[in-house]
A and B are shown apart, each in its own frame.
Chain A
Amino acid sequence: MVSDLDLTVKSGVDVGGSMLPHPYVIKQVRKETDDTFTLMLEQRSGGPKLTFAPGQFNMVYVFGIGEIPISISGDSASSVLVHTTRAVGTVTRVMARLRRGDMLGIRGPFGTPWPVQEGRGRDVVIIAGGIGLAPLRSALYEVLSQRDAFGKVVLLYGTRTPSDILFREELEQWRARFDLEVHVTVDRAQPDWRGNVGVVTTLIHKSPFDPQKTTSMICGPEIMMRFAAQELQKRGVDPDSIYLSLERNMKCGTGLCGHCQFGPYFVCKDGPVFRYSRIKDLLVKREI
């Protein structure tokens, strides 16, 4: 009998394969900075292999604690699933204590990816702020794996302080390449820092790329992305060729819970990667 105002919990296992997490095992944990860490995961034997495109994200589940969206930060050609995240909330703080052999639930991949192939035959300018380098690293991997297909490739990376710089060893390797231009800057120097000091947008106006033939991918705090996109435009880059990756609260990752709405767009499916020209006007509206 269905009672009035039936508030009993309905049970619906297999409510949708998309809401059930798949088990993944941690193969390696790497501490990147004080509050940022990288997990390398592999699906439990017999499980489905996840294929993704750079810029997509997974909903990552910690048993009994909760689930959060995290961008994939590894190589899409590899069988290892890589996630880099900051320990800032309940779920990520528990995640930061996990070790090799521990299990996480993965749902995904979700979202609109970086348009890496649009950069073919053009200069590619990647602008990362803080942890924004994580989802952009996947895009850079794809570009480097087909290096000849692209023109000049530039990476501009800004962080708060030198101790917040991610992927240091890789940055050094990239810097050493002749076919890649890498510039790093910090907002606030520490005493022994001899590199650039200043916000990442200051690196744009003197960067060697052809504004008429450039595809740019930007990820970082929203303020930084807005100002970086404007600087690119000042240099003559078409807003249709500039892409940003946005972040909003997500509970489902599949466009059903409503939380991630940004104007009429669902960041989880219309984004997280958006063409700048599409969202330009929304970005400057407060609390939209």
Chain B
Amino acid sequence: MIEEALPGADVEMVDEGGGDHLRAIVAAPQFEGLSRIDQHRLVKNAVRPRFEDGTIHALSLSTSTPG
């Protein structure tokens, strides 16, 4: 879902427990020039349906710009 919202992003997902505590490590060119919180907002908005339907309970994020 993240890759759809952020084409060209490199996404790694890690299950941190129970399948609903996830960590996403995202490197995306779209993050260039954005504050950490704006980068996180982009990712969180991309996966919001999964929060709303309860599939994801917690999402830890590590964001960066590629290269």
Tell me if chain B binds chain A.
no
B residues at A contact (CB < 8 Å):
none
